Amino acid sequence: MLQNAEQTDVLSRIPGPLLQWYGKNARILPWRDAPTPYRVWVSEIMLQQTRVTAVMPYYERFLRALPSPAALAAVPDDRLMKLWEGLGYYTRARNLKKAAQMIVEQFHGDLPASFDALLSLPGIGSYTAGAVASIAFGIPVPAVDGNVLRVISRVLASRADIADAKTKQHVETALSAVMPRDCAGDFNQALMELGATVCLPNGQPLCEKCPLAGLCRAHKENLTGELPVKTSKKKRRIEARTIFVILNEGQVALKKRAGTGLLAGLWEFPCADGALSTGEAREYLRQNGITLEEITPLAPAKHIFTHIEWHMTGYLVKAAAQTGGFTWCTLAGLKQSHALPSAFRAYTKIAERELKSPGN
């Protein structure tokens, strides 16, 4: 591990080759065109824990529907959730709206050109505040995410745990000292780009393509497979659930989840805790007011959240009537107005297929 003075010396030599590489190799991404504060902010929130390829189809559609903080602040929750449907981590969308309302009320409808003010908004931490401040406003503050932590850990051959908040704070401080004041946004994006496309995780960096290979101690000492150091996550809790796709007269039964907790306020198919057998499923439906005409087991499905893993048993149900206190939704409603989380993607596809069938 390098001492502080040596670290500063190494890091001070990063900007030149890094920015030259970025100028030639930066990916063409929609949020890099006309990087207004609002566009940068929306992109950064969408990109949290989500791959670029997954975000691309959502980004422009979201901006067309909600082109400004004022439009975002006023959008009905169901509409917002439908625009976000499939991206996951729905708290991000809720915090976007809360922040937009603060922007309208406290900052006259424009994102504030201040790192500290950005940090005061819901859903914005030091990374997002740094990204928006530097890219949209040219403020020389670092934006340190997992990609940047990996790059710097390898360049310095640091064994500090990147899951530790103190490590991130140390890297932020170190980068602040060497950041070029006239192109802070490009510098931050270049570091993120390098981590995303060259200095890859899991011991597979493309060192032969890296502009920092000559400075990188991990590369010189053959340590890229060992770095960065990151404490392992807690083991996910497994939850068994049974999902019912219940159809009647060209409509499918839905219900809204509770307003707090996992997937709060989103629509879902009727479901039960545990993996119910067909007999148990029949009894559950009877107790919930559904008169069966037909019940067919579906293939099992799985969905992984950050700390929980759902193992799902499914049933396709033909009901005699629209009972049970559910909301009954047409195919058009399923596609246009009712947001179902990606956790139910396998069952949503089945519902759409069945609703298209002439017999339904």
Q: What are the two backbone dihedrals, phi and then psi, of residue 143, each rounded to the nearest 5 degrees? A: -130, 95
pLDDT of 359 above 80: no
Mean per-residue pLDDT of the chain: 94
Tens of pLDDT, residue by residue over 232-260, are 778 899 999 999 999 999 999 999 998 88
Mean pLDDT calculated for residue range 283-306? 94
DSSP string, 84-107: HTTS--THHHHHHHHHHHHHHHHS
Res 3: pLDDT? 57
pLDDT of 5 above 90: no
Tens of pLDDT, residue by residue over 131-155, are 999 999 999 999 999 999 999 999 9
Contact between residue 332 and residue 299 where contact means Cβ atoms under 8 Å apart: no
- Residue 44 catalytic? yes
Domains of the chain: 4-220 (1.10.340.30), 237-356 (3.90.79.10)
pLDDT of 357 above 90: no
- pLDDT band at residue 301 using 50, 70 and 90 as cut-offs: very high
Contact between residue 136 and residue 35 where contact means Cβ atoms under 8 Å apart: yes
Q: Which listed residue (6, 44, 60, 172) is catalytic? A: 44
Residue among 103, 47, 107, 42 nearest 74 (CA): 103
